[in-house]
Amino acid sequence: MNETAPQDPTASFRLDGKVALVTGGSRGLGRSMALGLARAGADVVIASRKLASCREVADQVEALGRRALPIACHVAHWPDLESLANQAWRAFGKVDVLINNAGMSPIAPSSVETSEELWDKVLGVNLKGPFRLTALLGSRMAAGSGGSIINVSSVASIRPTPQTAPYAAAKAGLNALTVAFAHEYGPKVRVNCIMAGPFVTDAARFWVHSDAFKEQASRAFALRRAGDPDEIVGTALYLASDASSFTTGAVLRVDGGNP
C-alpha cells in the first residue's frame, strides 16, 4: 500500500509571493506584524503618518530579503486612503493581506468635556478609515484572486469605560464591520478581527508599567501581565495565511485572559 507523505503542518502559514499592507505599521503592534509577515515571506507596504518612520521599518523588511514600500498616509482622510491603495497596487500589482491596525485612544476627562473635534478624530482613525480602506482593497481582492483582511480592535469594545467611550464605540463598530465585510466580500476574501488587550507599546508603555495596572493584572488577568508586541504576530500570521482558510467573520481575543 502506498502511503502519502505527511504534509508539513507549518507550510500553510507561509506567505511567499504575497503582498501585505499594514496601517500604523511604523511602530508598536503594526511594526511587529509587518516584520512578522515579512519573515513568513510576504512583501510589505508600511503606512503611517510619518514617512521617515515607515522607511525605517521598510529598511528592516528589506534586510529580511523582502520588498517593502513605505507610504505616508493619514487613515482618517479618504483621499489619502485612495492614494495608498493605488500606490500599493501599482507597485505590486495586488494586495493579498490588509491589516487595519492604525488607531488612537486619547482619554477624555468626561463625556460632557469630549469635544466634537476629539470625537471626530477618534472615530475617523479607528472606524471611518478602516471602513474606507477595506472597501477600496476588499473590492479589488474580491474581483481578483482573493485575500485576507485583519482588523485590530480592542477589548475596550466590550468593556468600555467612561474615559474611553469614543474609542470603545469606534472599536465596537470595527467588530461589526468585520462581520459585514466578511459577508460582502466572501467567499474569496476572508475578514477577521484581532481584539487586542493591553500590550507594551509606545502609546501604552507608561500605563502598563503603572502600579495600578500591575495590581489589576496580577489580580484579574490569567497571564498576570501585559503582552509584548511580538506576541500578536502568531495570531496575525494565522489569520493572514491559508492556515485560517475556514475562518472569517471572527473576532478573536488576544488579551492575556483579561476577564
Q: Is the pLDDT of residue 167 over 90?
A: yes
For residue 46, tell me if it sits in a domain: yes
Cell (9 digits) for 83: 492614494
pLDDT of residue 207: 55
- CATH code for position 88: 3.40.50.720
For residue 52, tell me if it sits in a domain: yes
- Between 206 and 216, the more confident residue is 216
Cell (9 digits) for 204: 501604552
Q: Is the pLDDT of residue 6 over 80?
A: no
For residue 104, tell me if it sits in a domain: yes
For residue 3, tell me if it sits in a domain: no
- Per-residue pLDDT of 69-110, as tens digits, reads 999 999 999 999 999 999 999 999 999 999 999 999 888 789
Q: Is the pLDDT of residue 246 over 60?
A: yes
Domain enclosing residue 137, as ranges: 15-247
Instruction: Pinpoint the alpha helices (H) of the chain.
Output: 28-39, 51-63, 78-92, 116-123, 129-143, 165-185, 205-208, 211-220, 233-240
Task: Please state, for a pLDDT cut of 70, what percent of the chain lies above it.
Answer: 91
172-192 CB burial, b ≥16 within 10 A, e <16: bbbbebbbebbeebeeebbbb
Task: Provide the annotated active-site residues.
Answer: 167
Cell (9 digits) for 9: 503542518
Among 73-82, 141-150, 161-170, 203-212, the range scoring the smallest mean pLDDT is 203-212
For residue 144, tell me if it sits in a domain: yes
Q: Is the pLDDT of residue 220 over 80?
A: no
Query: pTM higher than 0.75 for the full model?
Result: yes
pLDDT of residue 80: 98
Rounded CA-CA distance 5/233 in Å is 29
User: Quick one: DSSP state of residue 125?
Assistant: I
For residue 5, tell me if it sits in a domain: no
Q: Is the pLDDT of residue 2 over 70?
A: no
For residue 10, tell me if it sits in a domain: no
- Between 73 and 163, the more confident residue is 73
- Per-residue pLDDT of 120-142, as tens digits, reads 999 999 999 999 999 999 999 99
**183: closest CA among 153, 223, 219, 138?**
138
Cell (9 digits) for 167: 474609542
Q: Is the pLDDT of residue 248 over 50?
A: yes
**231: closest CA among 65, 93, 80, 28?**
28
Q: Is the pLDDT of residue 170 over 80?
A: yes
Count of domains observed in the chain:
1
User: Quick one: DSSP state of residue 35?
Assistant: H
Q: Is the pLDDT of residue 38 over 60?
A: yes
Q: Is the pLDDT of residue 206 over 70?
A: no
For residue 7, tell me if it sits in a domain: no
- Between 1 and 9, the more confident residue is 9
